Amino acid sequence: MARNILVVEDDRNISELLRMYLEKEGFEVRLAYDGGKAVEEYDAQAPDMVLLDIMLPVMDGWAVCDHIRSKGKTPIIMLTAKSDVDDRITGLERGADDYLVKPFEMKELMARINAVLRRSEIPNDTSKKLTFDKLEINLDSYELIVDGKKVDTPPKELELLYHLAATPNRVYTRNQLLDEVWGFDYFGDSRTVDVHIKRLREKVENVSDQWALKTVWGVGYKFEVKQ
């Protein structure tokens, strides 16, 4: 069965070009020209992926992204003319899986679509759950339980914490984390990792004396567990 992609873009010329290219690559494509229609289309039938512009009529891309994330973990790639690093980081913080700045090459878009889809496929028979003192990281249900309470956590933050905690006491550089969690180096900007670590610390710091999210100065980060 062909993968279904929802393209949310108010420029109809760009939308039609994306439709033609994606259909040629074997995808089924639905189009939405404003944020309100995007939400309607998503709620009617959740696609396998959303390509989402930010500057949209009715509802902007941030609001659409928030709506999708409130419903599930459908992969989202932001397509936008906004190239400022802070805008990129905002997109990732709010749950986008990738961020591509216009103008872009279709080959690069396809490479990113395929990479994000591969990362989103978690085998049903593979449990992705880690448990520590007062901490449970569950990638099967995308839940973070801290001291017995569920804590709302964007998908990429949870994936970052899981990646660190899956190999306790191993030090990762920022570039390694960008490559292994995001799939490749976004923008060459390590602040992407730093922002996610900061937000994770706000949720898990000082919960237990058995583990901690540590900074290794001049190198990167690790999930430290007492031996």
Average pLDDT on 136-152 reads 91
Q: Domain boundary residue among 71, 98, 120?
A: 120
Number of domains in the chain: 2
pLDDT band for position 122 (50/70/90)? low
At residue 51, does pLDDT exceed 90? yes
Tell me: do 98 and 116 sit in the same domain: yes
Q: Domain boundary residue among 120, 149, 174?
A: 120
Domain extent at residue 155: 129-225
Tell me: do 167 and 76 sit in the same domain: no
Tell me: do 100 and 160 sit in the same domain: no
pLDDT at 124: 46
Tell me: do 69 and 29 sit in the same domain: yes
Tell me: do 34 and 75 sit in the same domain: yes
At residue 213, does pLDDT exceed 70? yes
Q: Domain boundary residue among 87, 120, 153?
A: 120
Tell me: do 114 and 188 sit in the same domain: no
The 3-class secondary structure across the chain, one letter per residue, is CCCEEEEECCCHHHHHHHHHHHHHCCCEEEEECCHHHHHHHHHHCCCCEEEECCCCCCCCHHHHHHHHHHHCCCCEEEEECCCCHHHHHHHHHCCCCEEEECCCCHHHHHHHHHHHHHHHCCCCCCCCEEEECCEEEECCCCEEEECCEEECCCHHHHHHHHHHHHCCCCCEEHHHHHHHHHCCCCCCCCHHHHHHHHHHHHHHCCCCCCEEEEEECCCEEEEEECC
Tell me: do 104 and 34 sit in the same domain: yes
At residue 188, does pLDDT exceed 70? no
Tell me: do 18 and 87 sit in the same domain: yes
pLDDT band for position 125 (50/70/90)? very low
pLDDT band for position 108 (50/70/90)? confident
Tell me: do 161 and 92 sit in the same domain: no
At residue 143, does pLDDT exceed 50? yes
